[in-house]
Structures are given as structure tokens and as C-alpha cells.
Amino acid sequence: MKLFDCDFRELDRKWIAVSKWKDIKRIGKKYKLELVDALVLIYLYIDHEKGICGYLIGNLYHDSKNLLQIEEDYMEHMIILEDDILSKIKFQIIDNSLLNHLKEKEMIEQKIDVAYYQDENILNARNVDIIDEWRHETNPDDIELILITDKKEEFIWGKLELFSKDRLICRLLDDSKYNNHYKKGETVLASIVKDKKDADIIIQYLVEKKNSD
């Protein structure tokens, strides 16, 4: 399968293996690694800022007991594959039971969990499927919003921070072309607005930043 063949939730915190030599060479060339023609193990996760990423572990081989083992370990180098590579390679999801014997497995999963899976608001927002059509294809936390200024409509990407009762709190990822108040980094409240034919996520207003003093 490829990155866009399935829902992002099916790939979140999943172990995958790359088996095609042309894809392994593509990874090796990109990151200047001496990978061999054998399964390459990667752990997929979602980085709130970068989107779907892959933690490169290394080549796999079967030992004398037919258990998968890591032949080349790149964990120390923290090589992270992003969508520019992940979207071009084919892979298969590995059943967790095939890797449970690896001592590195639990350590990596815990490391990623602590770094990227502590904000309950973000995690809950990823489970909201009614906004899936507005999500970015490789970063599900990025939402396509519409800002209306003097009857002019424009699309702006926003980083989803919270979803509650059809309302979204987002951090703008772009500057508005028509409204100087809506700049990159500002927080906005948006809502799903439906008519007879369609629906959009419309920015309603800026959210005032709390004073830290």
C-alpha cells in the first residue's frame, strides 16, 4: 500500500516494512544510508506540526528461530522520514505480534508517545471524522478554513488545536490576503457552516490571547 491508500488513523502509531529495493534505495539515497536489499522497519506516527512521519529503525532479517531482528540500527541518529519520502514508497503494515520480542519496540513506542501524544485536545480532534474532507492529506491536524472579508472569500490553512460542538480552535498557518488582522500564528474560532448544497469551515473571529502575567 501507499500513504494515501488508507485513512490516516489506520497508519497512526503503526509499524511498517518497506520491501521493494527501489524504495529502499530511495530512502538510502535521501538520508545517505547504507541500507541493504532487505526489509526496512519504520514506525509511523503523527507530529502535530509536520504531519505523518516515520521513525527509521533499519534493516530486518529472520534469525535461526525465524524471528525478525534488526540488522542495522539507526535509532540513535533519529532519522525521521517525512511525507516527501513516505508518499512515494510502498509498504505493508506489520502485525505487532511479530515484533513483540524486540527490546527496541517498547522503548520507541514510549519515546514517541511522550513526545507527540500528550495533548488530549489534539488527540480527540483527530477522531472527529466529520471534518475529514477539510484535513490536509499528509497532516491531518491542518484544516482548510475560509475567511470572508468584505464579501471576498479566501482559503487559509489552520492548525487544529481543539474541536468542540462543531467549533474549531485553530492557529493560522498563513497570512490573510485581504484582512491584516488575520496573520500567521493568530488563533481563530471557526465553525462548520452548512447550506442546501455544501458545507465549509468558516472563520468567525480571532481568539484573544490570554495575558501570561
User: pLDDT tens digits for 33-64?
Assistant: 888 999 999 999 999 999 999 999 888 887 78
Is the pLDDT at 75 greater than 70? The verdict is no
Helix (H) or strand (E) holding 26: helix 21-31
Q: What is the mean pLDDT of residues 62-83?
A: 77
Is the pLDDT at 212 greater than 60? The verdict is no
Q: What is the pLDDT of residue 68?
A: 77
d(CA 80, CA 87) in angstroms, rounded, equals: 14
Residues 153-174: tens digit of each pLDDT: 999 999 999 999 889 999 999 9
Is the pLDDT at 26 greater than 90? The verdict is yes
Domain borders along the chain are 3-118, 121-206
Strands 40-47 and 51-62: antiparallel
Q: What is the mean pLDDT of residues 171-197?
A: 95
Q: CB burial class (10 A; 0-12, 13-18, 19+) of residue 29?
A: exposed
DSSP string of 75-143? GGGT-EE-HHHHTT---EEPPGGGTTT-HHHHHHHHHHHHHHS--HHHHHHHT-GGGGGGB-SS-TTEE
Is the pLDDT at 213 greater than 60? The verdict is no
Mean residue pLDDT of the chain comes to 92
Q: What is the pLDDT of residue 128?
A: 97
Q: What is the pTM of this model?
A: 0.91
